[in-house]
Amino acid sequence: MYQPPVQERIHQPVHIDAAAVRACIDQGEQVVIQFTQDRLPAPLLASLDALASTCGTALEIRFFGASTRPFDARVLRALPHAVNLSLDCHMRAIHLEQLGGLSHLKRLCLGVHHLAEGDILALDNLRGLEALSLEPTARAHIDLAPLRHWKRLTQLHTAGHAKNIEAITAVPTLAKLTLAQIKSKDDVDFIGAMPALERLCFILGGRTSIAHVTAPRLRELEVARVRGLEDLGDIGRFPHLERLSVEDQSQVKEVRLGANPALAWLVLRNCKAIEHLSGLPGLPALQALAVHMTRLDIDALLAASMPAALKQLSFSTGAKKRDDAIRAQLTQLGYAMAPYY
């Protein structure tokens, strides 16, 4: 699936080395400057804000919880030029309305377990966000209705928050959606009405089937650790799919590939009930296949013929002696090892 840039984390700095930060960013790295406290010296905050004004989204400013004392968001008054901000792992927070004063903000991660402000997304300035991550809260009560007005949002990660989630169908730019810890009772049919969706991830939460989920422009699909999941449906309903990953699904017994002319990368990892993989020979673009801990048989797969484009193939059972033999067999056939991530 999507691989984020390399991160350089700077923890609790006593001063800001702007030149070092810019050097990392120039090398393509994402820099995170993080603190476990909100009471910081004014000169340090001034230097951090000045740096934020020139680095854009490549610089993430992070305040994360490390004590029982509530995070005081009034520290954000000293960071008006923050573009990429994370307030996560906090039990409680006060004065979160200060988020409304960050007119340059484009990326926000919010994680406060006992969040009081279920309407936090109604702050006017947040309409300019391009990426939003909502971490779990005690009540999963954040109202997503304001997102219908967010015309620049391209990425959304929501962990358990589904109140008025159908509002995101009005967002014309939303290309990446991660649904984490979504309950089985929560309807996900709205996904088919998202006009720009290209990457979709289901992780944790629970439901028995996603066979009814459609997304006409989907290019990447990841399904991982969804409790009770039995049916993926016919993958051919995603005609533009390029990458598929299914991981830690103990009740999925088969993967049905259909007309997937663009599928280039397929991973089945730790899905111990999978015993059928259909449609594999008919994938003209498949370049990498990685299979780990399933009931599939490598000899049967090879006998059914592999796609001509396949160059990378990994297959493991968890038994070292058998896996060594399989690796030698695949090497002899000319396959390089396929990545699992």
| pLDDT (tens digit per residue) in 145-196 | 999 999 999 999 999 999 999 999 999 999 999 999 999 999 999 999 999 9
Which pLDDT belongs to residue 4?
A: 62
pLDDT band for position 6 (cuts 50, 70, 90)? confident
Q: How far apart are CA 121 and CA 147, in angstroms?
A: 8
3-state secondary structure of 73: helix
- The answer, yes or no, to whether residue 288 has pLDDT greater than 80, is yes
- The answer, yes or no, to whether residue 2 has pLDDT greater than 60, is no
pLDDT digits (tens, 9 = 90+) for 293-331: 999 999 999 998 899 999 999 999 999 999 999 999 999
Which pLDDT belongs to residue 1?
A: 46
- Residue 97, CA distances (Å) to 62, 81, 93, 221, 244 in order: 17, 16, 10, 35, 40
Read off the pLDDT of each residue in 248-273 and give the average, rounded to a whole number. 97
Which pLDDT belongs to residue 3?
A: 56
Which pLDDT belongs to residue 27?
A: 95
3-state secondary structure of 110: strand
The two three-digit tokens of residue 253, written as one number: 């017994």
Which pLDDT belongs to residue 110?
A: 98
The reported pTM is: 0.94
**Residue 196 per-residue DSSP state:** T
pLDDT band for position 23 (cuts 50, 70, 90)? very high
- Residue 49, CA distances (Å) to 24, 44, 64, 72 in order: 18, 9, 18, 18
CB atoms within 10 A of CB 91: 15
